Amino acid sequence: MPTPLIQTRDANLELMSGTNMLHILKDINLSVNPAEVVAIVGPSGSGKTSLLMVLAGLERATSGDIVVAGENLGDFNEDQLAIFRRKSLGILFQNFHLVTSMSALENVALALEIAETGLPLKEIRDISAAALNEVGLGDRLNHQPRALSGGEQQRVGLARAMVSKPRLLLADEPTGNLDQDTGALVIELMFDLARKQETAVILITHDRVLAERADRTLVMNRGQLSEKTQEVSL
């Protein structure tokens, strides 16, 4: 067995909402191998995004352990968590989150600049252009997001998430704002890149067809994560 890339042990997330304590994640025991592609499905409000937040160190588990790439995130201070995110994580959101005043190339280059690779600017631009080329946008380098379609914007998002060759890609409904065919194309590209770069992927999706493309599907229900079984209706 390979050493897992993600290993959580009885991870819980409780948050105060007014005077109520909400138990959002309940005893999560998740193990994901390097380069494994895992889909997470489940009803709205069940805790899927919260789980990604905890895995990204954007939210701290209230109890239990979150170990990613051999590091226990609970041992990190905020600065160390930020460095961990820049170096080890790619994140892909539903709403693309591109910088509107920057070109496609600048958006991707920004991710490499933030990762503090020490690469010279020229090389950063070349690598970013190559990443955009890989997602089929080699002729859109200088377009700003508003001059790109939704599918093209998400492909820029994908190039940005993958350009620093992260070990883990966290994708939160990345096709939620795209039509079915465009969404399927983006997911295809995402899986291709992940396979090439040996990146593990956690994909949250409401789309059962897309979920079936993953190595494994897990179901989140009221903060509890379980293996997909026949009885669970999505």
Ligand X SMILES: Nc1ncnc2c1ncn2[C@@H]1O[C@H](COP(=O)(O)OP(=O)(O)OP(=O)(O)O)[C@@H](O)[C@H]1O
Is 50 a residue that touches Mg ion (CB under 5 A)? Answer: no
State the burial class of residue 47 (Cβ atoms within 10 Å of its Cβ: 0-12, 13-18, 19+): buried
Cβ proximity to ligand X: between 54 and 190 the closer is 54
- Nearer residue to ligand X within complex by CB, 147 or 209: 209
Q: CB 48 → Mg ion: shortest distance, Å?
A: 5
- How many residues make contact with Mg ion (CB under 5 A)? 1
Pairing verdict, β 224-227 and 216-221:
antiparallel
Least distance in Å: CB of 24 to ligand X? 4
Q: Which two tokens stand for residue 1?
A: 């067995």
Q: Does 49 bind Mg ion (CB under 5 A)?
A: yes
CA 213/CA 121 separation, integer angstroms: 37
Q: Residue 185 burial (CB < 10 Å; 0-12/13-18/19+)?
A: middle
- C-alpha 234/C-alpha 231 separation (Å) is 10
Cβ at position 37, least distance to Mg ion in Å: 19
How far, in Å, CA of 67 to CA of 71, rounded?
A: 5
Nearer to Mg ion (CB atom), residue 43 or residue 74? 43
Residue 187: count other Cβ atoms within 10 Å of its Cβ: 26
Rounded to the nearest whole angstrom, what is the least distance from the CB of residue 45 to Mg ion in the complex? 8
- Shortest reach from residue 219's CB to ligand X, in Å: 11
Scanning 46-54, 99-107, 114-122, 224-232 for contacts with Mg ion by CB under 5 A, the matching segment is 46-54
For ligand X, give the closer residue by CB, 34 or 64.
64
Region of 42-50, 126-134, 142-150, 221-229 interacting with Mg ion (CB under 5 A): 42-50
The whole-angstrom separation of Cα 30 and Cα 38 is 11
Backbone angles phi, psi at 9, to 5 degrees: -125, 115
Task: State which residue, 115 or 170, has the beta carbon closest to Mg ion.
Answer: 170
| CB-nearer residue toward ligand X: 14 or 71 | 14
Q: How far is the CB of 138 from ligand X (least distance, A)?
A: 33
The residue ranges that bind Mg ion (CB under 5 A) are 49
